[in-house]
Chains A and B, each alone.
Chain A
Amino acid sequence: MTSLNRRPIYMDYAATTPMDPRVAKKMMQFLTPDGEFGNPASRSHAYGWTAEAAVDEARTQVAALVNANPKEIIWTSGATESDNLAIKGIAHFYGGKNSKKGKHIITSKIEHKAVLDTCRQLEREGYEVTYLDPEPTGLIDLDKLEAAMRDDTILVSIMHVNNELGVIQDIAAIGELTRARGIVFHVDAAQSAGKVDIDLSSMKVDLMSFSAHKIYGPKGMGALYVRRKPRIRLEAQTHGGGHERGMRSGTLATHQIVGMGEAFRIAKEDMAKDQTHTAALRDRLYAGVKDLEEVYVNGDMARSVPNIFNISFNYVEGESLIMSLKDLAVSSGSACTSASLEPSYVLRALGRNDELAHSSIRFSIGRFTTEEDVDNAITHVRAAIEKLRALSPLWDMYKEGIDLSQVKWAAH
């Protein structure tokens, strides 16, 4: 960790991306005394006007990536806040005590915790939530979604691209189902903006959450798209000053907003290039490890973004694998940092058995990943798998032809 080039190879872009240097450079212009540091809400002097113009430009840039009207973009502190504002805002507006519409919400078991934990909170407030099981591919079955819809359903919240698997849900088709029934449709697009084409002029999505730091922008910055036609109304969750059309009060963080705008501008410009780049690297990575026996791709590669690649190496335990891969910065599906070992809830929801869930690794690559990074990663992975399988009694049993699912294990 002492010098930059000895840091692990970064393959955790789905957790966060480094900022694009172009973004950082632009943000620097909005901080210091010689820069445009004004409060965009100041209406009485040039400092405020310039800052407001910068905020407006950024709003236009964010809207442009997803083909929305800039007036439909609300600034937030990140996708987590956007998810909270969207889900609680809709629930409280449409399902509040004066409403006759209902208190039923539909989401899926593989949503981000920002959605799941918000839904849990609403359950405590008296709302009813249906958590759909995904198919083994990670995709939501539209028939099952439709079957879950009821007269009192007020909101469907389904993520666009899953952060662990990379699978892309068919949000255009879901939008048709919800719009036909007058149900509000929220999409968490933290992992899809800049990775997948999003056209909000044709997709019947009512609310969409965005994050800046997943697409080479600053951390602590996000946005919520709130449709104007037909008009979607929210109950504000933060009060004080009536900023952002009353939906989210608080002084706007000009430098952060400008950074998000620039990141979205670059994403629009470079999306095709980024996609080709990450797809080639993902294929290279998979080709380099797939001949190791008992390798399973989690999710549906054909319907996934190429920058997220999740695989399980059977008979190898996740935490020891991460420990062996100390030269790689990757994520494990095994969250065994607590006494009770819990494999990823996303992989569990797919029906993956515990062993495979424990032995999964998420590689997420991006704009700054190189072929050399991937080749080095392959070398590290192969060495780690070979070492750990030589240590694994389960691997021995597999090689002896024993069916591990028939063994009566003593859980502890």
Chain B
Amino acid sequence: MAYSDKVLDHYENPRNVGTLEKDDPSVGTGMVGAPACGDVMRLQIKVSDDGIIEEARFKTYGCGSAIASSSLLTEWVKGKSLEEAGQIKNTDLAEELALPPVKIHCSVLAEDAIKAAIEDFRGKADNKKADGSNNADAPNNADGSGKAA
């Protein structure tokens, strides 16, 4: 089991671990994966009024490569617009972390997580526009009652 130095660094010192208020309309949450498959990622982004990701937080249940992929992702998305963040490719993450072929799925999961977080945020924004109220029933993947994306 030879992990790259970058994976080990993110694993030993994960960046941006934590939780943002999931009901905050400026926060988007993406939760992907399944315990049965051995990895679950929760990625949260806080988006400014002009559509820039100001904060990113994650928690990951999974192997070292999954933790490193999500940690690196939080570093990359910060300061990016939603469009830019949505274009992050799993192959870029895998290349940066030098993931071996059997761990590519960890980077795929990270790409899925940011897409899910962006979708969640946009869903909230659309709901807000639609009825003008702060809709508490907005679909939210992080509350555990719905399905993980």
Chain A interface residues (CB < 8 Å from chain B): 315-320, 323, 334, 336-339, 341, 343, 353-355, 358, 390-397, 400, 402, 404, 407-412
Contact = CB atoms under 8 A, between A and B. Distances in A.
B24 to A, nearest CB: 17
Given A317-B61, A390-B17, A396-B19, A404 B149 contact: no
B64 A393 contact: no
13 contacts: A317-B61, A317-B63, A334-B38, A341-B37, A353-B36, A358-B35, A391-B60, A392-B59, A394-B35, A396-B59, A402-B145, A404-B35, A411-B37
B39 interface: yes
A316 to B, nearest CB: 7
Contacts of A397: 144
Interface in B16-73: 17, 19, 31-42, 59-64, 66-67
Contacts of A409: 33-36, 40, 147-148
A350 to B, nearest CB: 16
A393 B41 CA distance: 7
A341 B145 CA distance: 25
A412 B67 contact: no
B76 interface: no
Tell me the interface secondary structure of chain A in the complex: loop
Interface string B94-108: 000000011011001
A338 B102 contact: yes
A338 B105 CA distance: 11
B110 interface: no
Contact of A316 (B42, B61, B104): B61
A316 B34 CA distance: 13
B38 A412 contact: no
Given A339-B104, A393-B31, A407-B147, 4 more contacts: A336-B38, A391-B61, A404-B144, A411-B34
Which of the listed residues B1, B59, B104, B105 has the most CB atoms from chain A within 10 Å of its own CB? B59
B102 A323 contact: no
B82 interface: no
Contacts of A323: 1, 3, 11, 63-64
Contacts of A392: 59-61
A323 to B, nearest CB: 5
B39 A317 contact: yes
Contact of A394 (B3, B40, B105): B40
A409 to B, nearest CB: 3
Nearest to B11: A323
B86 interface: no
Nearest to A410: B148
Contact of B32 (A407, A408, A412): A412
Contacts of B114: none
B79 interface: no
Given A409-B147, A409-B148, A410-B147, A339 B105 contact: yes
B123 interface: no
Contacts of B63: 317, 319-320, 323, 336
B109 interface: yes
Contacts of B62: 317, 319-320
Contacts of B11: 320, 323
A355 B62 CA distance: 11
A391 B149 contact: no
Contacts of B108: 412
A323 B11 CA distance: 9
Q: What 7 pairs across the A-B complex have the smallest Cβ distances?
A: A409-B34, A408-B147, A402-B144, A354-B36, A393-B42, A319-B63, A341-B38
Contacts of B102: 337-339
Contacts of A396: 19, 42, 59
A319 B59 contact: no
B38 A391 contact: no
Given A319-B63, A323-B63, A338-B102, A391 B36 contact: no
A383 to B, nearest CB: 12
Contacts of B38: 317-319, 334, 336, 341, 343, 354, 358
A315 B61 contact: yes
A358 B34 CA distance: 12
Contacts of A355: 35-36
B137 to A, nearest CB: 18
